[in-house]
Structure 1
Amino acid sequence: MKAHLAARPSLRKIRVWNRTQERAEALIEQLNMPDLDLRVAHDLDSAVSDADIISCVTMAQEPLVKGELLKPGTHLDLVGAYRPDMREANDAAMARGTLFVDCRDGMKGSGELSRPVDGGVITWEDIKADLYELVQGHHPGRQTEEEITVFKNVGGGTLTCLPRSL
């Protein structure tokens, strides 16, 4: 959340969802950001359909975010669900979004990506760029305001995905 706020200081409304309301409330209290409209989201689907930016950091084995609910222009971060048997977003999210990863090494071990590839929903070629390619300007990132973008952190990309020439 703090990274998003650093990049987009105009963000003012943030909703936190958790399987238990108590944990969502505890996170809000821990964040201690009185200048923001920071509240518990009681219904995940409603929060997803209203959000401009969604960050998931879960251990979910079954998708929580329904891609059919994403509005045009949404950005979806998938940070958790790091094993092959885990998913935070369903096939519709992966099919609707322009896909980016932190690192191409290891992406085939992510259930978030390998399961929709195995199901014929996406291909490995649908992953447009990794962080290095984005930062170096090899890919421009979002192309239109209506484009849905999906970023999957497959783990450790900032440490291990340097170009071979360095």
Structure 2
Amino acid sequence: MQWYAVQVTTTHEKRIKKHLEKRKLNGLAGKIGEIIIPEKDGKPAFPGYVFVQAEAWPDLYLPRTTIRCRTIGMVSEEEIKKLMRMDTPTTVQKQTVPKRTFKKGDRVVITIGPLAGIQGVIEKAGAKRSRVSYFDGEVKIDADNELLRAYQDGDEPAGQGIL
């Protein structure tokens, strides 16, 4: 089985997880494995994302409802292990970085997680979290500022970043 990142409507992560777990019990046990929502300080570390271990592309198992739900790509086992350790005190301490602030329009690079290396643009800046758009504005996430760094000339584009 392979891990996949599934983008869902923010605040509907648990609803999608529950739906997939129900599908597992109703005959898809061999096709759907673990389903995780990484947390940091008791809140989703990546709001709007659920990580699903599945035999095939998870869109086949996702609900066909008004909740926006789509698979955006595969995630390595190594990245999943990092995500599962995010809420442990030692990991959080290691990730403590100086306070970072951004403003609308700043170009940034995501530094941690399955989207590490992806370049984006700040759409809405906050003291602790900012909204970042990437893939030419098609995908937006709310990310802790400590998971972002300012784009620097010479940064290599990773995946299908916007730059």
TM-score (norm 2): 0.25
Greater helix share, structure number = 1
TM-score when normalising by structure 1 = 0.25
Task: Looking at secondary structure, tell me which structure has more strand per residue.
Answer: 2
